[in-house]
Amino acid sequence: MEPQMSGPAPGGRAVDAAGFAPGRSGSLALVDDSFDSVPDGYAAESRSLAEDAALRLIANVETVVHGRRPAVELVVAGLLAGGHVLVQDVPGSGKTTLAHAVARSVGGEFRRIQCTADLLPGDITGSAMWNPSSQEFRFVPGPVFANVLLVDELNRATPRAQSALLEAMDEAMVTVDGVRHPLPDPFFVVATQNPSDQYGTYPLPEGQLDRFALGLTLGPNDRATERRVMREQLMRATVGDLQPVLEPDELRWLQLEVRRTYVADAVLDFGLSIVAATREHPSVRVGASSRAALSLLRCAQARALVAGRNYVVPDDIKALAPMALGHRVVLAPGIAAGPVAMGVGVVREVIASVPVPLSA
């Protein structure tokens, strides 16, 4: 049975001062990957364990990624929401280190793809190889068959190679020679890309960008943080020392625990209003999609869990909307902007224009 994502607060108890909290914590709990009634107190304990696991993941990443707590929390939110994350910045800014640190913090199968202009779709998905001993073709899986896939400099791959990830990111499946192959569960893609005005890059199409739950940029570190990074890196690349703090089964449980996070009707409508307003903005040619709205709400649920809440508040929506919608918005001709930041300004204008609900 799917969890109730919206509607009246369950249990009939009074909600918090803002009116967004669920009436009864622990009315639903995770049992064998489903949502069923369980003895009182179990769900609250499960929630506490989930919050601790999420914070442990963030802390592990921060042992090597310094001064970027907001970015780390965003990538972890995308992971816990069951989405994929795109990180853009100039070369050498630490985007690959961030992606690699998150990937190494999760156990299971980890693969990395370095995108280049000569990368082929079969280099990503795998292909059928002739087996002389059996006299038949045998499918050899590519690096996409992993729990965590790091795709470095995605926009240095040609559009043909980029397209190999479309089905995988949307359906967790790969089709090769007419045969569909399921990918491991969980499956998470964290990709990096360079600014599109740099030499040797191929802009990501709108359909590819829409498959990323969040798109973010890092910006420069302050001097003290940069000095600390330089001192640590003089010895060795510290990301290689990271050990996993979550196993795939634990990550699956965390993702399901995120889905239990309560979303009041007023908060859901607030998110939908922001998405709808992007479609009416005069600077926008194509606004955010329904998939973008769902992705925004799921990431808000993950942010609430990291913050120690079992309910989403409007501030979760406001904080995440620029990163969840900005890379999906297609601006009108003549308005120049980068691929990830292309709609961030528009989304911020939209957020300022949409009334914030005061209660559920």
Task: Please compute, for residue 149, the number of CA atoms within 13 A of its CA located in the half-sphere on the CB side.
Answer: 26
Work out the pLDDT band at 341, boundaries 50, 70, 90: low
Give the start-to-end residue ranges of the domains of the chain: 29-262
Residue 108 has phi, psi (to 5 degrees) of: 85, -160
pLDDT digits (tens, 9 = 90+) for 189-214: 999 888 776 777 888 888 899 999 99
Fold assignment, 29-262: Rossmann fold (3.40.50)
pLDDT digits (tens, 9 = 90+) for 132-174: 888 888 889 999 999 989 999 999 999 999 999 999 999 999 9
Quick one: how far is CA 22 from the chain centroid? Answer: 25
* 227 has pLDDT over 70: yes
My answer on whether omega of the bond before 141 falls inside 30° of 0, hence cis, is: no
- Tell me the pLDDT tens digit for each residue of 289-324: 899 999 999 999 999 999 999 999 999 999 999 999
pLDDT by residue (tens digit) across 259-275? 999 999 999 999 999 99
pLDDT of residue 31: 35
Question: Which residues neighbour 299 within 8 Å (Cβ) at sequence distance 6 or greater?
Answer: 77, 78, 81, 83, 213, 214, 320, 324
In terms of DSSP bridges, do strands 85-88 and 188-193 run parallel, antiparallel, or are they unpaired?
parallel
Please tell me the distance from the alpha carbon of residue 148 to that of residue 214, in angstroms, as a whole number: 16
Alpha carbons 305 and 87: distance in angstroms, whole number: 22
